[in-house]
Amino acid sequence: MNKRLYPFYQIHYLFQNVFVTNLLLLRMKKTCLFLVVLFALILQFCTSTYKAISRKNRKVTYVNNIQPIVMNSCSPCHILPEGKKKAYNTYAAVKASVDSMLIRIRKNPNEKGFMPARSPKLSDSTINIFVQWKKDGLLER
């Protein structure tokens, strides 16, 4: 373009520069946004994986896992003072009886000796917590 033939050259040039600069800024903004989102996603992935791993490494214990189930499902019958059946209100008692408890909670409701009596069968995942507790060494806490 001939500068002399085009009187608005200066202005044109200026505007063109502004336009290009704006375009570049917009691109940079987009890139930054993309990087922030990417970083957030990576962070999210890392924390959830970390949580999953630490959950897996945590062992089943009486206080954290077993006691709440027993207090919930085996009361009042097996929990003193109201309970008149074999007491399962302490760590020592539950630890000593875990095998007979497992036999009873694995039965089906129509079988003789099924536990918890007069209640629905415990879920497989709940029963498995008892199995895992044994595997983990019957820890108290």
**60 is a contact residue toward ligand HEC (CB under 6 A):** no
Residues in contact with 132: Cβ distance below 8 Å, sequence separation at least 6, in sequence order: 60
| Number of residues engaging ligand HEC in binding (CB under 6 A) | 17
**48 is a contact residue toward ligand HEC (CB under 6 A):** no
**94 is a contact residue toward ligand HEC (CB under 6 A):** no
**141 is a contact residue toward ligand HEC (CB under 6 A):** no
**89 is a contact residue toward ligand HEC (CB under 6 A):** no
Tell me how far CA of residue 16 lies from CA of 5, 10, 33, 58, 61, in angstroms: 18, 10, 26, 63, 71
Distance CA 16, CA 77 (A): 86
- Per CB under 6 A, the segment of 4-12, 15-23, 60-68, 109-117 that binds ligand HEC is 109-117
**62 is a contact residue toward ligand HEC (CB under 6 A):** no
**56 is a contact residue toward ligand HEC (CB under 6 A):** no
Distance CA 65, CA 55 (A): 13
Tell me how far CA of residue 121 lies from CA of 41, 104, 105, 110, in angstroms: 41, 10, 7, 10
Q: Whole-number minimum distance, CB 59 to ligand HEC, in Å?
A: 21
Binding residue for ligand HEC (CB under 6 A) from 7, 113, 120, 137? 113
